[in-house]
Amino acid sequence: MQPCLKPKIKPVAAVILAAGKGTRMRSHLPKVLHKVCGRPLLTYVLEAVKKAGVERIVVVVGFGAEQVVPVAKVYGEIVYQEQQLGTAHALLQAEKVLAGFAGDILVLGGDTPLITSTTLARLIETHQSQQPASGNQKSACFLPTSHLSPPTPKTMATVLTAKLVEPAGYGRVIRNSAQQVVKIVEQKDASLAELAVQEINSGIYCFAVEGLFKTLARLKAENAAQEYYLPDVIETYVRQGLPVAACLAEKEEEIQGINDRCQLAAAEDVVRQQVRNEIMLSGVTILDPLSTFIDSEVKIEPDTVIYPFTIIEGACRIGANCIIGPGTRLKSVQVGDNVVISNSVVIESTIGDSCTIGPFAYLRPGTHLARKVKVGDFVEIKQSVIEEGSKIPHLSYVGDAHIGKEVNVGAGTITCNYDGQKKWLTVIEDKVFIGSNTNLVAPVKIGAGAFIGAGSTITKNVPAAALGVARGGQRNIPNWTKKKKQTKEENIS
């Protein structure tokens, strides 16, 4: 069902609660910065809020603020919660920055990466305009009356709820006989009848700004943790006879907060499947989706085939008609069209059209391959440019080098780029042939069309079209093995 998003009656500001440590994560990293498919949890929330059409975004930071702020400030304003005293106390910190704001306030945690902009827009619309759709047509913007408290233009708060088969651990949404929300009760405080309720509080709210901050300031920390919680605002409104509504989420997974590594892994599964489906629907073949891991920022062109046990991370861009894998890891790589990469690791590199990589190659950051380059088995390259048509087929190390066009690098060739203090450049010009088991001691330059004899250690520049040989002359000793055998027998006797 497609959402029917109407123009907002009032402007909306969002307050994202991102101050908590996340003790159950057992980590020094703030909880909202743990990643799902390569992106922080907080980024998913901020993107969803932005796409929902919210005019202002305020992020409340606390634990690890110096790490959270660089992510959050791209989207909106920052306020600090010096002491983490609960969700209501966190929202109260936004009072000054929202002074004079005349609208509604969307509040949600920064640890709900599966929430969608569609659901947030429905929550806002439900809060702002709770009139049924005209005629017999049902609108996705409104809930059936069994899920929504009676229409009223003066609703002070609307809670996003969900119905769970197993609601253990969540606060229950309690309604009266008229289906009005009367309270949200935490599991530890619920009666047996209340524990049987399947409708739960998602922790996502839309509040009218009128009187909200005064209500927050009057709350009491009457709980074991001595903290101030947003469900207490709902209870206060109900006690004062002020209307509270509820909006039921269509998918229960959307409201899942991340509190531990198990929940993080579960969210990762959901997002990864969404990413894989989107990529496959765009024309890419993934032979075994369950063994393929692709980050959310990856872009792949049609008719590329991804083999099993492949990991594609970061802002990778992969062209059309490529074959990637099996057993391959790519991170922040730009790959052209018609490229084959098998059983290899490529990190922060650029691969031109029609290149062949692997098996078992390792391309480190700063590697740039032009068109039709071949990098074979057990080759490592870093911080180097390899120009069109060149080949490094086997067992070589190329570091800090510029290799020209149509160069052949023989097996076992090493660029000796480090002298113990500094990295030096090796330059190999076009159409050079490097014999097997060659050491190129940088800084050194091999001129165009030169030929390097196998087994050489090259320490000086080789002119264009010259033969470079640097090895001891061969010496054959006649009957040496016979003499050695005879000496050995005499020693034994």
Q: Which tokens belong to 327?
A: 């057993």
12-255 to CATH, choices 3.30.70.270, 1.10.1200.10, 3.40.50.2300, 3.90.550.10: 3.90.550.10
**What's the confidence (pLDDT) of residue 7?**
60
Under a CB-based contact definition with an 8 Å cutoff, are residues 364 and 382 in contact?
yes
Under a CB-based contact definition with an 8 Å cutoff, are residues 366 and 380 in contact?
no
Q: What's the N-to-C CA distance of the chain in angstroms?
A: 97
Write out residues in the chain with pLDDT < 50, as ranges.
1-4, 131-153
CA 51, 37, 91, 180 dihedral sign is positive
- The residues, ordered by sequence, that sit 6+ positions from 486 with a Cβ below 8 Å of its Cβ are none
Whether omega before 231 lies within 30 degrees of 0, making that bond cis, reads no
DSSP one-letter string for 24-74: GG--SS-GGGSEETTEEHHHHHHHHHHHTT-SEEEEEEBTBHHHHHHHHTT
**What's the confidence (pLDDT) of residue 274?**
97
For residues 154 and 245, give the distance between their C-alpha atoms in angstroms, rounded to a whole number.
10
Under a CB-based contact definition with an 8 Å cutoff, are residues 275 and 296 in contact?
yes
**What's the confidence (pLDDT) of residue 41?**
98
Rounded to the nearest angstrom, the gap between the alpha carbon of residue 79 and the centroid of all alpha carbons in its chain is 25
Q: Which tokens belong to 237?
A: 């409104």
**What's the confidence (pLDDT) of residue 188?**
83
**What's the confidence (pLDDT) of residue 466?**
98
**What's the confidence (pLDDT) of residue 75?**
97
Q: Which long-range contacts (CB under 8 A, 24 or more apart) does 119-123 make?
A: 119/160, 119/249, 119/250, 119/251, 119/254, 120/48, 120/49, 120/52, 120/54, 120/204, 121/3, 121/5, 121/52, 121/53, 122/3, 122/247, 123/158, 123/160, 123/204, 123/206, 123/247
**What's the confidence (pLDDT) of residue 226?**
87
b or e along 50-78 (b: 16 or more beta carbons within 10 Å of the residue's beta carbon)?
A: eebebebbbbbbbbbbeebeebbeebbbb
- The residues, ordered by sequence, that sit 6+ positions from 174 with a Cβ below 8 Å of its Cβ are 181, 182, 183, 184, 185, 194, 197
430 burial type by CB count under 10 A (0-12 exposed, 13-18 middle, 19+ buried): middle
For residues 33 and 22, give the distance between their C-alpha atoms in angstroms, rounded to a whole number.
10
- Beta-bridge mates of residue 207: 105, 157
Q: What is the DSSP letter of 479?
A: T
- Beta-bridge mates of residue 226: none
**What's the confidence (pLDDT) of residue 441?**
98
Please, what CATH class does the domain formed by 261-468 belong to? mainly beta
**What's the confidence (pLDDT) of residue 186?**
84
Residue boundaries of the structural domains of the chain? 12-255, 261-468
What positions carry a catalytic annotation? Answer: 394
**What's the confidence (pLDDT) of residue 177?**
84
- The residues, ordered by sequence, that sit 6+ positions from 294 with a Cβ below 8 Å of its Cβ are 37, 272, 275, 276, 279, 300, 306, 311, 312
